[in-house]
Structure 1
């Protein structure tokens, strides 16, 4: 019997990308590994030398099919908030990290997209998506740092 190769531990450095329209509708996605759990795009660095912006662009493309720097979404629409959140990794997901790793550093971005941008979810990661006004999106999210980012959105984009 052959065993599957084990994955290397996740790097405890991730991005949170709040994808929004000009009207401040927010794209939320439902996790496949935790149905009923809604969030913005999140994901860990693949390597320590991957930049925050590279991680954000990669995760957005992997999770939603939206290409930052493509025709519909210029690179300038990805905005680095210069904000980092350090939080305790939920127990249910700690097995993905090296032994003893309990905290993650999350770097926050926003991404302005057309409201009619095509969304193609990664089926192994997410079940559904919804566009919601930012206030309703904040009420739907499970993560305190995601909720905080959504509540900051109007101020961050100058509204």
Structure 2
């Protein structure tokens, strides 16, 4: 991995000898500094899931790209919800019932995002062969998604919530 000005470069060397190179532009200011997130801050929810599960969620929500996405969390479920005047959609992941999905929730909460920005996650998952992702959520901070590229490489995606 490398970083030059506002572009991140990722090189993945696979065991079969192929090399994949990716150039990912930085899309916003350093969100850690903007929200004053420190390494000691505790997140109310942590989720580990396979990236294909996150991709499936994005695919189901893509027809609602112009609406807001609400994520509701409790110790048993992670709910992705879209409310429209015509159609309501929700996707529920159940802790210990959804395959390869692990949820640790310290407090029930709800957080809202622009769905069109959340859907950008799917582009990352599809273009860079990512196996699993780790989500950290807190009602006061941006959503952090840590993508594991291999056992020693990862990168983070930040998504700022809608603030009232």
TM over 0.5: no
Q: TM-score range by the shorter chain?
A: under 0.3
If each structure's strand is expressed as a fraction of its own residues, which one has the higher value?
A: 2
Q: Which has the higher helix share?
A: 1
The answer to which structure, 1 or 2, has the higher relative contact order (CA under 8 A, 6+ apart) is 1
TM-score norm. by structure 2 comes to 0.26
Give the TM-score normalised by the residue count of structure 1. Answer: 0.26
